[in-house]
A and B are shown apart, each in its own frame.
Chain A
């Protein structure tokens, strides 16, 4: 959780990812899943990424790792821009991903040791069989699995244990940076707490940097140093975790945070929820100007005409809204 130095490990500049959607009759239309997103993550830091379903969180994670080729923009790793294929290949050994669904993301026909060993095989990270096994057992130790588990199959494990297997696998290449895509959403509260603690411990022990995607805002608040909020492919706000919780500036962040159900009946009764009306617009037909304007109660003509700039309004606090001053 600590910010070890303030040097960015990952820098994302004007990242774009457009998918070509087939509209029939040989026409295609770009779906702007990620549109001009910029941010950086410091060494040893956790950046939380939140926003509605379909707003582009997973796509941001995958595009940073170059699992999708970026449509535009740049990704920098440790002060160096990723340009050549060799850069990207090298980067893939330093950056990995943990997936959302512990039930479907592991091959049920593989043993735990094969699942964890696969990235070692792919990247040629051992010279003897013994060395491979030692490394697998070490990784299992990191995530609290015992050595007896090695020869068992993934389907024999509970959700929380499967998530541990997935995390051990993502640690196999000795990464510096991990994109955690909703790693605890499928788990029950008490097991969720075990897995969150493990992420914490691994960060301390191995000096990891995380991009932590989740829709449970209490979880994100707990684990993140800073939090970024996305809406319809764009970043709308980014600030310190405590700052964004206590004083969200963007109208969307405000409603998002007020809608979080707090596990406290008296606070829940007192809470003034800002209930949004209307559905999320389709990214194929994104509104002109500010993407949030169709659901924003502060919207004016300017909001329809111009895309608000994502700018630093206070130290470390970025917002994309024309009316930040009036709204707050």
Chain B
């Protein structure tokens, strides 16, 4: 049994314009002490997946179906009382936008201590010490003085580090980090990633790292999920995803990164516009933008197939390749030209 098991998760927003299927059949496992990366285009459902796990969906958002098990315990439908003990104690989240997630009217110290008192067995003095220690760990200088300051007195990067300190101070089993380092400079980012890595090893904490930065994924993650239009299009070990991408979207993503070798050359962006979640096509959601798309891609969605022990992908190209090299035999003669 894995620490976290997500099975066929569907989450939608019921808006005036219709049902927005933000998460559309997502499944994955997360083991203790592992780092799972989630990448994918803006709007592909990364944050909504995280909010579904925490059950903190905004507005009209609802988990429509599926299962989320923490240490074997079902969380979907478990009720607010159970979720209150899960949030913070067992699973912490660092939000994408640090500006909106700190209360502007309380000091940094008060907010940190509140979180620590609520989620760990410490008294006030110990909570203060722990808060100072955490601020020091995330490289906020003069932490004792900083405890008495308000969020507006901190720069964006410092606020983000406070959020990280708050999430880590509670020693969760799972840390969900939603774009935790986008507001940070590379040298500070390196310090924070190093700190997360250390805590993950020392405390056996598992991390879900949501990010656009494929460099961060390469550095931190054991496994990677690639999302497109609410679904997982590919998942596997970091090495498999980077060195052997098997979905056309992932391939396009990897091609668009500037590297030392692209200097002076044209980059290769993915052309076209993202899909409208209100009007999902029948076939592969990436087909309208895919250069390799075949007839079947437009008609029918490819299921997420096991390619090897470390790798799954939902792309008809793998079927085509399998048929060509004889490793797959087709029944019923689906046309894939």
Contact = CB atoms under 8 A, between A and B. Distances in A.
Interface stretch (B169-177, B259-267, B304-312, B328-336): B259-267
Given A188-B42, A190-B253, 9 more contacts: A53-B157, A53-B184, A196-B258, A215-B185, A256-B186, A259-B187, A263-B214, A263-B254, A276-B191
B185 A52 contact: yes
A215 B41 contact: no
B268 interface: yes
B186 A265 contact: no
Contacts of B267: 193, 196-197, 222
Contact of B264 (A1, A217, A264): A1
B263 A275 contact: no
30 contacts: A52-B188, A189-B256, A190-B270, A191-B42, A192-B269, A194-B271, A197-B267, A218-B215, A218-B257, A219-B258, A221-B258, A222-B262, A241-B263, A256-B186, A256-B187, A259-B187, A260-B215, A261-B190, A261-B193, A262-B219, A263-B214, A263-B218, A263-B242, A263-B254, A264-B242, A265-B243, A268-B215, A268-B218, A276-B187, A277-B139
A154 B242 CA distance: 36
Size bin of chain B's contact surface:
35 or more
B256 A222 contact: no
B313 to A, nearest CB: 18
Contact of B239 (A194, A261, A266): A266
B259 to A, nearest CB: 7
Nearest to A282: B141
A52 B157 CA distance: 11
Contact of B253 (A1, A189, A200): A189
**Residue among A190, A192, A217 having the largest count of chain B Cβ atoms under 10 Å:** A190
A94 interface: no
B256 A193 contact: yes
Contact of A54 (B155, B191, B215): B155
Of B42, B141, B155, B187, most buried by chain A (CB within 10 Å of CB) is B187
A24 interface: no
Contacts of B215: 218, 260-263, 268
B273 to A, nearest CB: 7
Q: Top 7 closest A-B pairs, CB basis? A: A261-B215, A222-B258, A193-B269, A259-B190, A193-B256, A263-B214, A193-B267
A320 B194 CA distance: 29
A193 B186 contact: no
Q: Which of B139, B254, B258 has the most CB of A within 10 A?
A: B258
Nearest to A201: B266
B186 A215 contact: yes
A193 B190 CA distance: 24
Contacts of B191: 275-277
B213 interface: yes
A265 B259 CA distance: 14
Nearest to A198: B269
A279 interface: yes
Of the four ranges (under 10, 10 to 19, 20 to 34, 35 or more), the interface on chain A belongs to: 35 or more
A135 interface: no
Given A217-B186, A265-B242, A193 B140 contact: no
A275 B239 contact: no
A111 interface: no
B219 A190 contact: no
Nearest to B39: A189
B35 to A, nearest CB: 12
A166 B42 CA distance: 20
Residue among A159, A197, A218, A245 having the largest count of chain B Cβ atoms under 10 Å = A218
A268 B219 contact: yes
Contact of A189 (B212, B219, B242): B212
Interface string B167-206: 0000000000000000011111111011000000000000
B41 A190 contact: yes
B238 interface: yes
Nearest to A196: B267
